[in-house]
Amino acid sequence: MKVIIADTGPLIHLSEAQALHLLPTIGEIYVTPQVLREWQERPAELCPALIPEWIKVLSPSPHASEQASAWVQSGVLQVGEAESLAVAVELQPDWFLTDDAAARHLAGSLGVESHGSLGVILWIAGQGQFTRTETESLIDRLYHSSLWLSESVRVEVQRLLNDLFSH
């Protein structure tokens, strides 16, 4: 099982796609207090009011808080992404889960493996837990969530699906 630190975006997008329940099948999911606040500020029709019991909260250390503040003040990241990434840099989880391109880029430059909502679905499919039809249905629901995906990403997803289910 993987240790995953998530920011708010994937929790929202996977929830909108009725796929949030997939996260604990991958591993232990941790969020920061800021992510929890952002989650709870979402309209109830977009996200469940109650935080799933499998989500654990990790508070940032003073050093991580300082680093997060620096990223926010410089305009590099928003608060939730910054706090989550700062904790991930310190704890070195298996994955940092974010749908924010800047956060993923910065994570990579800091040696933290990052994935997004699409990566969750594709990874689980790659583990043999879904058929192609089930995977395409999940991805379609994600495409209809508030997650913005470029045409090039959609083309790449189709290529990955073809590779994954070519046998």
Tell me how far apart the alpha carbons of residues 139 and 147 are, in angstroms, rounded to a whole number.
11
Residue 100: per-residue pLDDT? 93
Q: What is the mean pLDDT of each run of 10 residues along the chain (167 residues)?
A: 95 92 95 91 65 91 96 95 96 96 95 95 92 93 91 91 86
Residue 135: per-residue pLDDT? 93
Lookup: tokens for 90: 């310190």
Residue 48: per-residue pLDDT? 59
Tell me how far apart the alpha carbons of residues 35 and 132 are, in angstroms, rounded to a whole number.
32
Tell me how far apart the alpha carbons of residues 97 and 79 are, in angstroms, rounded to a whole number.
15
- Overall number of domains in the chain: 2
Neighbour count for residue 128 (Cβ, 10 Å):
8
Residue 52: per-residue pLDDT? 85
**70/100 same-domain check:** yes
For 102-125, letters b (16+ CB in 10 Å) and e give bbbebbeeeebebbbbbbbbbebb
Tell me how far apart the alpha carbons of residues 115 and 123 are, in angstroms, rounded to a whole number.
10
**142/82 same-domain check:** no
Tell me how far apart the alpha carbons of residues 56 and 30 are, in angstroms, rounded to a whole number.
5
Residue 39: per-residue pLDDT? 84
**65/124 same-domain check:** no
Neighbour count for residue 86 (Cβ, 10 Å):
25
Q: Is 35 exposed, middle or buried (CB count within 10 Å of its CB: 0-12, 13-18, 19+)?
A: buried
**102/153 same-domain check:** no
Domain final residue pick, 98, 117, 136: 117
Give me the domain span that covers residue 124: 118-164
Residue 40: per-residue pLDDT? 82
